[in-house]
Structure formats: structure tokens, C-alpha cells
Structure 1
Amino acid sequence: MADLPDHVITLIFLRVPTKPLFRFKSLSKHWNRVISDPNFIKSRSRRMIFLPGLPFDHAIDNTAVPSMAKLTSPIIYPKLYKEITIVGSFNGIFFLVLKYRKPLIIEYRWFHDHMILYNPLSGEFKAVPFRPAFNSHSTYVFGFGYGYGSTTNDLKIVRLKNDSEYYEVFDLKTWSWTRPSELIRSKRSWGNCSATFANGFLYWNAERREDSCPAILAFDIENMVFSEIEYPDGCYCLGTYNARLCMLCPQVNMDGFELRVMNEHGSWSTICLFTSSFKSLISDEAALGGLCILDDGKLLMSKSSKEFIIYDMFEDSYEVVNALTSVVRAGRLQCVEYVESLISPSDVCSTSI
């Protein structure tokens, strides 16, 4: 088989189940190159929506008709961790933050989070080096971000300490942490939340400390610079639409809602108005408590531990997705869309998109 041309090997591998392919990658450099080719990966991949829930093995297959799918899980011990945060994904590899029930103490240093890179298709994961708290005797709340600058190999993890001007950056290319001397210089707090990534920037929901006035804290990944963006009145739920930062806003008369996207210079444009079906779906607080925006102009809501709803803002229609078992939410519903990948977490920075 080693002497066969690549296109023949590709046709054979397209018929092979996923799990054996991961073994084949390690048997031959030639096979590894064929299997790792972005076009081959794309031909086998499903579009998925990942959910932070226990058991940690559920996602929604959004390729055609949405349905729940069971995944391979990394080793997660419920007795050790109290919360799972899905910060973001790139090339099918997720950055997850697992919050300890009690701080871990190693050599008199306190650690509150366990951070991993994880491929939900293979179950393969790699731990990000431990990073102690800024002060060993305090319990901190951290905000996290995961994204890249002008090129996809400029992938970084950003960790913010709430109510502080300090932040830290983990560079996946050099596999090291740095604490930049430049401060955030914002009188905002951003709580325990994940940033939304769009076009080289990370965006966090933030509040002014003295009067809780909302704003968006933005971080330019390439230039390592923070800035603030005004939050339109009454708007909430940051997300992306066609890779642009967006949010939901109630209409002035409260008869409906609108989807707004951010323009290049920080202004906002309304691209969609929707009313009837959505208003009936959010008639109870459970739906609003589990609401996130999908990049194709849809909303994902959790109505119960066994029922999710995907609402199309442009069509004013929805579909119900039933869970395989009860899904206990481990943290807020920070759903993340991704395309399945055969890439290893160790290679996430070396493979372009």
C-alpha cells in the first residue's frame, strides 16, 4: 500500500472508521501526511456543537438534521472538578478549563484551574502547564480567551484576573506563559467568563465597577492591546455571525428582537428582526439561562436537561434536539461550534486552516 498514489490511499482511508485512522497516523509518515491533509479531514468531518455538560460526552451533530451524538471523553473526575468551561476551539481542538473543587497546592503554590487542549473526536488531550494564582492566599475568579492574531500559528490563551489590571498569555507556539508589563488599564470587572473570538480579537462582557454599567473589553491578540467598546442599551449575549462579533437586542417597543453585528470601527448594524416563535420559546427563564448564538444565524437554547432547541432567526422556525441522557450543565451554556478534526492537540499550532 506504501507504493500506491495518494489519491488511491485517500479513497481507501475514506472508507476506514475514525478510530483506526488515528493508529494509522503513527504507522507511517506518508499515511500521516495523507490523513492530516486539510482536504481529507474536511471530507470526513461533521459540523458539531459542543456542550459543557456531565457526562462529558455529548455534542449536537449539526451537519444536516440536528441530532445528539455521543463522543469520546477525556479523563475527567467529577469529584475533583466542580465546573467545566469551554473557552474556544481551533482546528477541531478545544481549550477547556476545569475548575477544582478545592485549590490544588503544589510546592506552596495554589492552583485553581486545570487547563487542557482536547480533541472530542479522538478523546486525545494535552495539559497546558500549570499556572499558579497571582497571590497564593486568595481565591481568584478568572476570565479566559483562546484565539489567534494575523496568522493561525499565532494561537494564544489569555487569562485575566477579575477586578485587576493584570493578565497572562500562554503562547502555544513557544509553549510558555508570559505576564506582559502592559496593564489592562480598565476599571471594569469581567467575571468568570470566556471571551468570544472574532477576526483577531477576543471580546469579554464587562461591567464598570462603581455602577455596573456594561461594556465590551476587547483584546487585540497580535498587538497585545486592550480597549473598550460601548454596549448598546439592553443588548446581551455576545456571539459571532459569519465570523463577525454580534449580539441580541430587544426592540424599542419590546415586541421583538434583533441581531446586530459589529462593523469595522465599533458601530453596530441590525441584520435581522425576529418575533413570534422566539418570544414563545423564551417564555420561561430556563431558556434564557441557556442561550448562545451560532455562527449561521441560529440560537441554541436549553429547555431542560434532556431537550435543546435550535432556533433560526432568519426563518423564525426551530427544531428540537433530544439528549441521549440527562445532561447536567457544568457551568453556563458556552456552546462552541466546530468541524471534527483528526489533528492531535500537540499539533494544533503546526496545522494551518
Structure 2
Amino acid sequence: MENIPQPPSSVENLPGEVVSDILIRLPAKPLAQFRTVSKSFNTLISNPSFIKSHLHRSTSTHDDETLMLIHSLFCFNSTNPITTHQSQSPHISNSGSIKLPQSFNLTPNYNRASVIGSVNGLVCFLLTTGVGFVTPVIHIWNPSLYAIMTVAPYAIVGDGVLDLHYGFGFDPVNDDYKVVKFARMFRPPGFLTAGDCVFQDWLEVEVYSMKKGSWGVIRDRFPSNVTCVFDDAKVSFTGSDGRNGRVHWLCCGGIRTKQIIVAFDLGVEKFSQFSLPDSVGKWRNGRANVLGFLGGKICVMGYDENGNFEVWVMGEYGVSESWVKDYAFSQFGGGIISPIGFTLNNEFVFQDDNKCLGLYDQNAAKVKSFNVTVSGWESIERFMIVPYVDSLVWITPAN
């Protein structure tokens, strides 16, 4: 009688590529728990190549994308500071699926939080007291793994009130996650004359490396021609796979009304800047432009001087002459919306004239409502939408 092959007695006895193909389809949290099952599972799941493959699958299969709606200045002791919404049905709110680790201890009085950015499933946020000027405490958090770490204090604090700005992103050259910090101090009142800028020159720039677990001062300085930085992006648009390797800020350059984009390359740790399209290149009160990514390319959303809503996409990165207008969003004219940004799935998030959050699917030409209304002090400036990416990226300080 012909011998019939017996099935493997356990998953571990399956061929390695089969095991990998099975495990890569599972969410990050149970996968992390599987590390304790056996040495072979631990070796596979901890392998950087497996982590990257799992991440690629997470970022490329998001037909029904999960979006985290986070109060930009939320309190950890407030009710539902974080809710999640599926892009197919954003009107349904889930307030219990994303939580901070129970072991996370707040620094005394540091209970006001603000999101710096997110990438590859990691969310970087800072904590302050919300009263006066104090040095913020920065954290990097993986919601998938309920894992969080505290970033070491930076060295350059300053002796006065600071105009502080941050960025967070992935450095694909060095396979590292970095926080960039730049600041300037107010000029003493007695040294101000008519027409003077109220700020002093930009201080040295510091960059935190998660791989090294420390801050370092870099040679390059933040552009001296920048007079104002707009830290009001409402969609964390570095929330993709981070292959661009840069973080961006919308700024005023030289002339107060002229807006530019300042970029920081996390690999070579240098700044660059480029101009916006002429029609949306001027800052207007109540008409703030918004940066984002659409189809993997940087874009800007805003209104021209006639009140027409426009979306411009940069065809070739860093080339100001390559801006191309996307006419798919011209229907949102008339000043009836406030643009917020785009999701990983290229859906357009906005606030309408009734202060309600909406999500526009351009492929289906359909608008979906979040069933969330923001009014009064709790305006849209108090929210950030962060794409949730299921991720195995470990939150561990360097040894």
C-alpha cells in the first residue's frame, strides 16, 4: 500500500515560506504575542525583513482604512480623546479600540498632548502642562502593539520663551525613525524697535535618532528667511510608508504673505525649500493652505483670491515648475469647506460650512460624513486625523 504523507504535527513543521505567508496576514498584536511561543517564531517575527513585509502589506491593503481622530490638544484624562473611524463608514465611531498602554505613567501635570506626526504605524506626540512655557516631553507610540517609549530630553532648551517646532519621520537611508526640533527665542522687549521681528535668529537644529536613542546637533540651520511656520496640518501626511524620507512644513518666507514649503531630508539631514503655485502661494487670513500627499506625491490645498478651491500636485518632487492642478476637486469651490487633507487611500477629508467632518471618495464621487460636528472652541484646529497602520515596528530605545 502506498505510503500517504502525514500532515505536519504543528505549524512549525511547515516549510518556512508557508509559515511566513500565514503569519504575515495576521494583525501585529497577536504576532507580537507569538514571539513567546518558540524560538523559531521569535526569530521570524523579529526579523527586519519580515517586519518590513508585514508593514508593506498593511500599507498597501487599506480599501477600508482605519482613521484615528485625535484631539490636537487632548487631555489623557478627558472622555474619548481618541476615536477610530473606518473610511467605508466614518459615521460609526469606536472609542475603545485604540488605547495607551496601562503601564504608561504621565509625568506629573503633563496632561496636554499634541501630535507631531506619524509614519509606518508609529505616532509621535508631545506632552506639556498647558500652563506657561515648560520643556515638552516627547513620546513615540505604536498603537498596534500598545507599546510606547519616552524620548530623551533634548540639549538646547533656551533661556526664554521659545517658538518651538517639530517633525517626525522615517529615514529609509539609515532605516531609522527621527524627530527633528528647531526653535527661536523672543527678543527682549527693550531691544525691539519699529519693524523688528519679535523673534531672534533660529537656534541650532537637533535631531533625535530612535536607533541611537539620543539627540544630536546638525550642521545645517533652519532657513533664515522663514518668518513664520504653520504647524497646523490636520492629517498626518507622513503616515504612508515613509519612502520619501522627508518631513515638511508650510511657512512664510521673507515677505509675510508669501508661502513656501520647507523640507528636511532625514537621511542627509539638510533643509531645502520650494515655492507654491502662484494662485495659492499667498497667505490670506482665514484661507490657510494645507499640505498633504495625494497618490504618493506632495500636494497643497487652498483657495485662490477669487474664492475658488484648488488642489495642486507636485509632479516632480522639489521642482516648483512641476505643480499640476487636479480638477477633480473644483466642485468644492465657493468657500464652503475647510480642507483638512488626504488619507492613505487618497480620500479627501474636509470640514463643511455646517462644521461637520466629511470624507470624499473621488473614485465613487461620493461624500461620507463622520457624524462629528466641531464648533466653538472645539474647532477643526483642535483635531488631527492620523491614518492607523497595523505595524510590528518595535518601540525600543537603543541599547
Match of 1:73 in 2: 99
Cα distance in 2, alignment partners of residues 7 and 34 from structure 1? 10
1:178 counterpart = 2:201: no
Cα distance in 2, alignment partners of residues 115 and 225 from structure 1? 22
Match of 1:58 in 2: 83
1:318 counterpart = 2:336: no
Between stretches 202-211 and 303-312, larger displacement belongs to: 303-312
The alpha carbon displacement at 1:13 in A equals: 6.0
Structure in which a larger fraction of residues adopt strand: 1
The alpha carbon displacement at 1:43 in A equals: 6.2
Cα distance in 2, alignment partners of residues 297 and 17 from structure 1? 23
1:258 counterpart = 2:296: no
The alpha carbon displacement at 1:22 in A equals: 3.3
Match of 2:264 among 219, 223, 240: 219
Contact 1:259 1:273 in 2 (8 A): no
1:97 counterpart = 2:146: no
The alpha carbon displacement at 1:98 in A equals: 2.3
Match of 1:144 among 166, 174, 182: 166
Cα distance in 2, alignment partners of residues 156 and 305 from structure 1? 38
SS of the aligned residue for 1:30 comes to helix
The alpha carbon displacement at 1:229 in A equals: 1.2
Match of 2:286 in 1: none
Summarize the Cα distance change of 1:306–1:228 in structure 2 as closer, same or farther, 3 Å threshold.
closer
Summarize the Cα distance change of 1:192–1:131 in structure 2 as closer, same or farther, 3 Å threshold.
farther
Cα distance in 2, alignment partners of residues 18 and 296 from structure 1? 21
The alpha carbon displacement at 1:256 in A equals: 4.7
The alpha carbon displacement at 1:337 in A equals: 2.3
Cα distance in 2, alignment partners of residues 181 and 15 from structure 1? 43
Letter in 2 for 1:340: D
Summarize the Cα distance change of 1:183–1:207 in structure 2 as closer, same or farther, 3 Å threshold.
same
Cα distance in 2, alignment partners of residues 86 and 171 from structure 1? 15
- Greater gyration radius: 2
1:275 counterpart = 2:320: no
Match of 2:392 in 1: 342
Cα distance in 1, alignment partners of residues 277 and 214 from structure 2? 37
Residue identity over aligned pairs, in percent, reads 19
Contact 1:22 1:342 in 2 (8 A): yes
Letter in 1 for 2:164: F
Q: Which runs of 5+ in 2 are unaligned?
A: 1-9, 75-79, 185-198, 281-288
Summarize the Cα distance change of 1:14–1:215 in structure 2 as closer, same or farther, 3 Å threshold.
closer
Letter in 2 for 1:160: F
The alpha carbon displacement at 1:321 in A equals: 2.3
Summarize the Cα distance change of 1:279–1:148 in structure 2 as closer, same or farther, 3 Å threshold.
same
Summarize the Cα distance change of 1:122–1:149 in structure 2 as closer, same or farther, 3 Å threshold.
closer
Letter in 2 for 1:89: V
Match of 2:118 in 1: 88
The alpha carbon displacement at 1:212 in A equals: 4.0
The alpha carbon displacement at 1:292 in A equals: 2.1
Number of aligned residue pairs: give it: 333
The alpha carbon displacement at 1:57 in A equals: 3.0
Contact 1:308 1:321 in 2 (8 A): yes
Cα distance in 1, alignment partners of residues 303 and 114 from structure 2? 30
Match of 1:237 in 2: 290
Cα distance in 1, alignment partners of residues 329 and 89 from structure 2? 22
SS of the aligned residue for 1:87 comes to strand
Match of 1:113 among 116, 136, 146: 136
TM-score by length of 2: 0.68
Letter in 1 for 2:122: I
Summarize the Cα distance change of 1:303–1:30 in structure 2 as closer, same or farther, 3 Å threshold.
farther
Cα distance in 1, alignment partners of residues 152 and 249 from structure 2? 24
1:295-334 matched pairs, under 5 angstroms? 295-302=344-351, 308-313=357-362, 316-322=365-371, 332-334=382-384
The alpha carbon displacement at 1:300 in A equals: 1.4
Summarize the Cα distance change of 1:330–1:315 in structure 2 as closer, same or farther, 3 Å threshold.
closer
Summarize the Cα distance change of 1:263–1:41 in structure 2 as closer, same or farther, 3 Å threshold.
closer
Show CA shifts across 1:235-289 (max 9, x none).
321111122110124367545533333523232112334233x348x63xxx52x
Match of 1:161 in 2: 183
CA RMSD of aligned residues (A): 4.0
SS of the aligned residue for 2:179 comes to strand
Match of 2:148 in 1: 125
Summarize the Cα distance change of 1:330–1:173 in structure 2 as closer, same or farther, 3 Å threshold.
farther
Match of 2:13 in 1: 4
The alpha carbon displacement at 1:133 in A equals: 5.0
SS of the aligned residue for 2:312 comes to strand
Cα distance in 1, alignment partners of residues 99 and 380 from structure 2? 15
Cα distance in 2, alignment partners of residues 4 and 40 from structure 1? 22
Contact 1:85 1:98 in 2 (8 A): no
SS of the aligned residue for 1:275 comes to helix
Summarize the Cα distance change of 1:291–1:26 in structure 2 as closer, same or farther, 3 Å threshold.
same
Match of 1:23 in 2: 33
Cα distance in 1, alignment partners of residues 134 and 364 from structure 2? 47
